[in-house]
Structure 1
Amino acid sequence: MKLYPINAGNFKLDGGAMFGVVPKSLWQRTNPADSNNMIDIAARCLLIEDGDRLVLIDTGMGDKQSDKFYSYYYLWGDDTLDKSLSQYGFNREDVTDVFMTHLHFDHCGGSIQWNKERTFLEPAFKNAFFWSNADHWKWATQPNRREKASFLKENILPMEECGQLKFVDLPEHDILKDSSLGFDIFYADGHTDKQMIPMINYKGKTICFMADLLPTAGHLPIPFVMGYDTRPLITLDEKEKFLNLAADNNFYLFLEHDAHNEIITVQHTEKGVRLKETLSCNDIFN
Structure 2
Amino acid sequence: MKIHSLDTGLFKLDGGAMFGVVPRSMWQKVNPPDANNMCTWAMRCLLIEDGNKLTLIDNGIGDKQDEKFRGHFYLHGDDTLEKSLRKLGFTSADVTDVFLTHLHFDHCGGSVVRRPDGALQTAFANATYWSNAAHWDWATQPNAREKASFLAENILPIQESGQLRFVDPAAGVPAGLPFSELIFADGHTEKMMVPLMQYKGRTLAYMADLLPSVGHLPLPWVMSYDVRPLVTLGEKEVVLRRAAQENWVLLLEHDATNEACTVQLTDRGVRLGDTLRISEL
Calculate the TM-score normalised by the size of structure 1: 0.96
Residue matched to 1:198: 195
Residue matched to 2:210: 213
Residue matched to 1:88: 88
Distance 1:250 1:133 in 2: 28
Question: Secondary structure of the equivalent of 1:253?
Answer: strand
Q: Does the 8 A contact of 1:210 with 1:256 survive in 2?
A: yes
CA RMSD of aligned residues (A): 1.0
Distance 1:180 1:80 in 2: 27
Residue matched to 1:78: 78
Distance 1:253 1:30 in 2: 18
1:171 offset after TM fit, Å?
Answer: 3.2
CA gap of 1:161–1:80, structure 2 versus 1, over 3 A, is: same
Distance 1:179 1:189 in 2: 24
Q: Does the 8 A contact of 1:97 with 1:129 survive in 2?
A: yes
Distance 1:54 1:87 in 2: 15
Question: Secondary structure of the equivalent of 2:113?
Answer: strand
Q: Does the 8 A contact of 1:131 with 1:165 survive in 2?
A: yes
Distance 2:69 2:270 in 1: 37
Residue matched to 2:156: 157
Question: Secondary structure of the equivalent of 2:73?
Answer: coil
1:180 offset after TM fit, Å?
Answer: 4.4
Distance 2:173 2:263 in 1: 23
Residue matched to 1:128: 127
Aligned length: 280
Q: Does the 8 A contact of 1:41 with 1:257 survive in 2?
A: yes
Is the counterpart of residue 228 in structure 1 residue 214 in structure 2?
Answer: no
Residue matched to 2:280: 283
Distance 2:17 2:83 in 1: 30
Gaps of at least 5 residues in structure 2 are none
Q: Does the 8 A contact of 1:56 with 1:98 survive in 2?
A: yes
Question: Secondary structure of the equivalent of 1:72?
Answer: helix
Q: Does the 8 A contact of 1:169 with 1:179 survive in 2?
A: no
Residue matched to 1:271: 268
**Within 5 Å, which residues of 2 pair with 1:87-106?**
87-106=87-106
Residue matched to 1:24: 24
Q: Does the 8 A contact of 2:243 with 2:263 survive in 1?
A: yes
Q: Does the 8 A contact of 1:168 with 1:180 survive in 2?
A: no
Residue matched to 2:53: 53
Counterpart of 1:69, as a letter, is F
Counterpart of 2:265, as a letter, is H
